[in-house]
Structure 1
Amino acid sequence: MLNAAETGKFISAKRALEFVQPDMKLGLGTGSTAAWLVKLLADAKSNNGLQFSAAATSSVTTQLAESLGIKIHALDDIGQLDLAIDGADEFDPDLNLIKGGGGALLQEKIVETAADQLVIITDASKQVQHLGAFDLPVEVVKFGWQTTQRLIADVLKTADVDGQTITRRGGDNPFVTDEGHFILDLRLKKIGNPAALATALTSIAGVVETGLFLDMTTAIVVGDGNGLARVQHKGSADWTEQQYDLDAEAALIKRVMG
């Protein structure tokens, strides 16, 4: 049996599967919750004949999907996507996000800006009143990265944030993205004006992209350990609820877990 956290991830992915229609072009996200979605899509393809084409947001997702029989296409080959589904590290009441905890923020943003809809799958622990409790990932080129870090620090001095600590992910053994870049993690605690901060950071030449995903989310799905899925759509303060019977889902969980 899954623990409460994994059950919540499964439930959110299960509910998000209802957004998928036959023959859609999909963007598949990265992370532990998105992995559940990939497994459920593979199961629906094998057992229910669901047809779709897919692009991925990372090499990790590509490897998982193809190991389960889902062919991954290059984004340039597949073109505009109907729907992208991914996780998030934080979301606020306006459905703005911090993403990139898995180090795939650049590819995630490229794929997800190429989708007509973006559905985020997550759990209640990721809901915050203001973004910033989770460290903000910033992808930077290796060349001159310490200079870029210094310029970021200068920006933070006048930004509407409560913290200004910057670390290179991995320290002396730095994390390197699929695109060959470094990730800097900004411990900001609270971001008062996410849009202004995103603009200021991306104006720095060495910054490739930030983990601020603003005004992109179509709907967010929150699953919990008791089988409840809650959905909020962009522009609405209301949540709709759907209760799943975990005993009835046990066979599916066992099947997709292999």
Structure 2
Amino acid sequence: MSVESYKLAAARRALQFVEPGMRLGLGTGSTASKFVELLAGEVRAGLQVLCVPTSEETQRLAEQHGIPLTTLCETPLLDLTIDGADEIDGELRLIKGGGGALLREKIVATASDRMIVIADSAKQVAKLGAFPLPVEVARFGMTATRNMIEMLAADAGCHGEITQRLLSDGAPFVTDGGNYIFDCAFGPMEDPEALDEALKFIPGVVENGLFLGIADAAIIGGPEGVAVIEAQYGESQEAV
């Protein structure tokens, strides 16, 4: 089986957590898009849900498939968010933001009673940090912000190259909120919480891609099947 099939298996298992009448947050990225497409099939079959997309990309996909949408202004409390991740450790701490939607993803996730992460098994890591940490920053004073990120990250024990995310044509990547992103190649993190707290001190940092204490469960697709990992137990159960 392929990585894509593992993603699809995880997305399909996540559908079992969706109940009629739920208010759902819809994640962004390759795995989350598979869930959106599967959810669309259920909606066409009569499932009634109301959804908040975490990016303009996801909004376009959901609209294309006829999924009913709302906003957090209209529906500020959600029942469940289903989203992907770039890395997941054993405590269900995450790195997200590879798709550039980390700010909206974190807002939607924390507005939900429950967040479930769906991913393929390659996203599981012993320590966060092999994937560069995305940090969304305001355009104003971004060089000063970058210097502060480097300094305070070092105080938190994190060192590595910090680069501005660019498009294939060399233009700056711009988030849905109009901000830029620095990708921070810090390597394995001994204390993600310390880094998260350090980044929150920097005025130019809008948000960072560390999702700590947010995910309630992870659904992981891999060569041995689908594992559901509940945060409160820290144990996985193999689903047939």
Q: TM-score range by the shorter chain?
A: over 0.9
Aligned residue for 2:113, secondary structure, equals: coil
Q: 166, 173, 195: which is aligned to 1:170?
A: 166
Q: CA deviation at 1:18?
A: 0.5
The Cα shift of 1:225 comes to 5.1
Query: 1:238: which partner in 2?
Result: 235
Q: How does 1:116-131 map to 2 (within 5 A)?
A: 116-131=113-128
Instruction: Output one character per residue of 1:133-167: Cα deviation in whole Å (capped at 9) or x when no partner.
Output: 10000000001111100111111222223x32100
Residue 33 of structure 2 is matched in structure 1 by 35
Residue in structure 2 matching 1:194, options 188, 192, 204: 192
Cα distance in structure 1, aligned partners of 2:178 and 2:38: 30
Alpha-carbon deviation of 1:235?
Answer: 2.0
Equivalent position of 2:146 in the other structure? 149
Give me the identity figure in percent. 47
Give the superposed CA RMSD.
1.2
Contact map agreement 1:156 1:164 (CA 8 A) in 2: no
Instruction: Tell me the residue number matched to 1:65.
Output: 62
Q: Does 1:87 align with 2:84?
A: yes
User: Which residue identity does 1:158 align to in structure 2?
Assistant: D
| 8 A Cα contact 1:55 1:72, kept in partner | yes
| TM-score, normalised relative to structure 2 | 0.96
- Number of residue equivalences: 238
- Runs of 4+ in structure 1 deviating by more than 4 angstroms, as ranges, are none
Q: Does residue 1:207 correspond to 2:205, yes or no?
A: yes
Q: Deviations over 1:108-145 (max 9, x none)?
A: 00000000000000011111111111000000000111
Alignment-derived partner of residue 136 in structure 2: 139
Aligned partner of 1:10 in structure 2 is 8
Q: Which amino acid aligns with 1:220?
A: A
Aligned equivalents of 2:214, 2:154: Cα separation in 1: 28
- The secondary structure found in structure 2 opposite 1:109 is helix
Letter in 1 for 2:181: I
Distance 1:93 1:235 in 2: 12
User: Residue 167 of structure 1: SS of its match in structure 2?
Assistant: strand
Q: Secondary structure at the match of 2:112?
A: coil
In structure 2, give the amino acid aligned to 1:21: E
C-alpha separation between the residues in 2 aligned to 1:131 and 1:4? 24
SS in 2 for 1:77: coil
**Corresponding residue for residue 247 of structure 1:** none
Which structure is higher in helix share?
1
In structure 2, list runs of 5 or more residues that go unmatched.
none
Q: For residue 256 of structure 1, what is the aligned residue in structure 2?
A: none
Amino acid at match of 2:15: L
Q: How many angstroms apart in 2 are the aligned matches of 1:23 and 1:165?
A: 46
Q: TM-score, normalised by structure 1?
A: 0.90
Q: Which residue of 2 aligns with 1:111?
A: 108
* CA contact 1:135–1:186 (8 Å) conserved in 2: yes
Determine if contact 1:104/1:178 at 8 Å carries over to the other structure: yes
